[in-house]
Structure 1
Amino acid sequence: MIDVADGIARRMIKLQISNVVAPGLPDDGWAIDLDASHGDEPLDADKVGFELQFDVGPVDCDWTEHFFLYVAAPGRVGRKGRGGKFIVLHEYSFSTLKRYLHSAISACEKEDWEHSLAEL
């Protein structure tokens, strides 16, 4: 990807997200496959609140960094995960979560890993 800021073209590294898990979810819900068309849907979307763990790294590298994030419905915002990072999904669904994660990771793509990491 190329970013043009201040009239200067910069090549952006492409990031990938992998190994997405939510260890607090019951049964098989803890392993989240972002390539799947369907995923675990809660019975009550207003009570959603769980920790999400995932890896992010450059597409062309064999290493990643591990991240933690708390996913919550608006009424559960006070229960943050490790490091205090969280996302609020006003209408939780697997497709909304998937879209948000891909969009957020893409927004962090910068000219090198250090700048991308600072955005993550």
Structure 2
Amino acid sequence: MSLRAYQQATARAESPREAEYRLFGQVTRALMSAADADPTDARTRVDALDWNRRLWSTLGSDCADPKNGLPAPLRASIISLSIWVDKHTSAVIRREEEIEPLIDVNRMIMQGLGGEG
């Protein structure tokens, strides 16, 4: 089986929850690598932070849509987290805050998505 065929089969077999878990795992690993990177490696840091911010921005926008099927309190919590991630990310880029709280939030979301929560 070719790699492309395998990826397509995996995508079809993956539930939305599993896809979200996988995406959070990829973004969180990028943040962890950025946290461990040489302080002069701004590119690794900014790329990971931007990817995480875009993920959360997408989640926040999706939850702001009245057609979203999640319960309103959960949608509101996700929107609040999205706003916090945006603000905290800006502070991390300015070196006013650390990256670890972003990693911690993502890990908590992954626990919920994985049913470990």
Alignment TM-score, normalising by the size of structure 1: 0.31
Structure scoring higher RCO (CA < 8 A, sep ≥ 6) equals 2
* Greater per-residue helix proportion: 2
Task: Calculate the TM-score normalised by the size of structure 2.
Answer: 0.31
